[in-house]
Amino acid sequence: MPRGDGRLSHDLDPQRPGPQDACGVFGVWAPGEEVANLTYFGLYALQHRGQEAAGIAVSDGSGVVVYKDLGLVAQVFDEPTLASLRGHVAIGHARYSTTGGSTWENAQPTLRSTSAGTTIALAHNGNLVNTADLQREVTDRGIANDGSTNDTSLVTMLLASRPDLSVEAAALEVLPQLRGAFSFVFMDESTLYAARDPHGVRPLVLGRLERGWVVASETAALDIVGASVVREVEPGELIAIDEDGLRSTRFAVPEPKGCLFEYVYIARPDATIAGRNVHSARVQIGRQLAKEHPVDADLVIPVPESGTPAAIGYAEESGITYGQGLMKNPYVGRTFIQPSQTLRQLGIRLKLNPLRENVRGKRIVVVDDSIVRGNTQRAIVRMLREAGALEVHVRISSPPVRWPCFYGIDFATRAELLANGLDNDGIRRSIGADTLGYVSLSGLVAATEQPKTRLCRACFDGEYPIELPAGNLIGKHVLEGVGRRVAASAPDAPEHTTSALVATPGGASVNRP
């Protein structure tokens, strides 16, 4: 599926997608501000992290309203809708599904009311690996399912199942039970909460407004709303923000394992992770790539946009001229119209086209961020040769992706990963390149300026820092069968609609036209 912000994803065929981003979350506590508008712009800055669905929850102190639907942020929200979402605290979510299918019921934020009259809305970036265990606890507690089949809803249900506790106290009970990657923003009628798993796999940052606080998946979302960066939410930390200020509590001992792939592809280049600017890291990766895999060539070109910083670094280090060889259609975005087989055969030309005058008669180095199935690179190599390139040398700014991610990135299955079944020369032949070079894992790690021990490298080396469950109790659709059965028997299960969800203290959630 094409990326909603116009940047290219790695797919040629919508039925065979490449690595899809983790979700984006945003939260704001700011009395006197238009918190729904701030959340909208924050999500807009995070659109690259998820293009399936978007939602915003808002509270004015008397009740929580959630408005969500399938689609991009700009498709789901308009000015009249945002104007109706009034309050002082809000959270938002831009979704790409990693647990549960792409349905309205699985859009976030999730919403749940407690019998004590408190309403909880929650948005999640990441993926839990003990989802089946959590589902069993929900069942044992006799909690009715709302038709959703994602891990986020399970967490919301468990938080709401403790009406004798405050939301903060309930979170300190529930959070230590969770296994996997999670960066949460959640709220009740008066308070904004943020929490990050003990390994800090997915990013989460805290920012300051003149009259409030902001939390977001990336620093770029703080920039767009005029918030100053305070610090990262620490691994194993729960933050609560209300009229009494900001409180911080540790619910677990931190064991940092930040996602290495954030530096390669997921995060915006203008983001900062663990004190390292992502663009600078990617340029350095390109420099390292040139040292490790030099070649005699005439022109270095990127696969736009994700390959651009590394291509700049490669050109600077190698002394080879940097230029443009591929033109991206600036209007590529998410579409609900699937191309016919005839159009699919055109492949990448729907998104990229060669600048023939630039590449004809030249030896080309083409820099991309990763190879998953190889579809994109195969098509690009063929396209450049047809445009008259004498040689095509492919350079990749990450090591071979040999293992799937269970912590919030939806890669292909291991059987589909090209590097899982072929050595480097086999991959080179498969994509048709003259030469192929991947940056080394040690070179990639060095570019992040983080110790190897503080990074999750599982997709590259198979070393999963969070233990995975045995058997088949993991995966995107682990709850689908259970979810469908429960949804079929639930009389109040929401329909696929563009309505808002409204919850008032002590009341059930209802659709608002």
pLDDT tens for the chain, 513 residues long, are 333 333 333 333 344 444 444 689 999 999 999 999 999 999 999 999 988 899 999 999 999 999 999 989 999 999 999 999 999 999 999 977 554 455 667 789 999 998 888 999 999 999 999 999 999 998 888 887 766 667 888 999 999 999 899 999 999 999 999 999 999 999 999 999 999 999 999 999 999 999 999 999 999 999 999 999 999 999 999 999 999 999 999 999 999 999 999 999 999 999 999 999 999 999 999 999 999 999 999 999 999 988 999 999 999 999 999 999 999 887 655 444 445 656 655 667 778 899 999 999 999 999 999 998 888 899 999 999 999 999 999 999 999 999 999 998 877 678 889 999 899 999 999 999 999 999 999 999 999 999 999 999 999 999 999 999 876 455 544 444 433 333 333 334 334 334 455 443 333 333 333
Which residue matches tokens 């993926």? 127
Q: Is the domain of 41 the same as that of 140?
A: yes
Together in a domain, 242 and 291: no
CB 377 within 8 A of CB 431: yes
pLDDT value of residue 3: 35
DSSP letters, 377-430, are HHHHHHHHHHTT-SEEEEEESS----S---SS-B---GGG-HHHH--HHHHHHH
CA 251 from chain center: how many Å? 24
Same domain, 196 and 287: no
Residue 489 lies in a domain: no
97 and 204 belong to one structural domain: yes
CATH of the domain at 68: 3.60.20.10
Is 360 contained in some domain?
yes
Q: Based on DSSP, count helices (H) and strands (E) in the chain, helices before strands.
A: 18, 25
Sign of CA dihedral 280, 282, 285, 286: negative
Tell how strand 299-302 and strand 363-368 pair up.
parallel
- Give domain status of residue 497, yes or no: no
Q: What pLDDT was estimated at residue 150?
A: 75
Is 368 a known ligand-binding residue? yes
Residue 352 lies in a domain: yes
Q: Is 456 annotated as a binding residue?
A: yes
User: For residue 461, what are its two tokens?
Assistant: 């080396």
369 is in an annotated binding site: yes
Query: Residues 238, 98: one domain?
Result: yes
User: Can you give the residue range of the structural domain that contains 372?
Assistant: 276-329+339-455
Exposed e or buried b per residue across 285-295, where buried means at least 16 C-beta atoms within 10 angstroms of its C-beta: bbbbbbeebbb
Domain-embedded: residue 75: yes
For 141, 438, 439, 448, the CA distances from 285, given in Å and listed in that order, are 50, 10, 7, 9
Last residue of a domain, one of 413, 440, 455: 455
Give how far the C-alpha of residue 125 lies from the chain's centroid of Cα atoms, to the nearest Å. Answer: 7
Which of 455, 488, 504 terminates a domain? The answer is 455
Give the tokens for residue 459.
């997709």
pLDDT of residue 494: 36
Say what the pLDDT of residue 143 is.
84
Q: Is residue 165 part of a domain?
A: yes
Query: Do residue 420 and residue 346 come from a single domain?
Result: yes
Contact of 155 with 207, CB cutoff 8 Å: no
Domain match, 89 and 124 both: yes
Q: Are residues 230 and 309 in the same domain?
A: no
Is residue 113 assigned to a domain?
A: yes
Residues in CB range of 350: below 8 A, 6 or more apart? 329, 332, 339, 343
pLDDT at 270: 96
Which CATH number is 413's domain given? 3.40.50.2020
Q: Specify whether 322 is located in the same domain as 230.
A: no
Supply the pLDDT for residue 6: 32
Tell me if 276 sits within 8 A of 449, measured CB to CB: yes
Q: Would the annotation count 296 as a binding residue?
A: no
The pLDDT of residue 341: 56
Q: How many domains does the chain have?
A: 2
Q: Is 405 known to sit in a ligand binding site?
A: yes
The closest alpha carbon to 406, from 259, 241, 233, 226, belongs to 259
Amino acid, single-letter form, for residue 47: Q
Does residue 350 sit in the same domain as residue 406? yes
Q: Is residue 433 part of a domain?
A: yes
Do both 56 and 184 map to the same domain? yes
Catalytic residues: 23
C-alpha 221/C-alpha 282 separation (Å) is 20
Q: Which residues contact 470 (CB under 8 A, 6 or more apart)?
A: none
76 and 177 part of one domain: yes
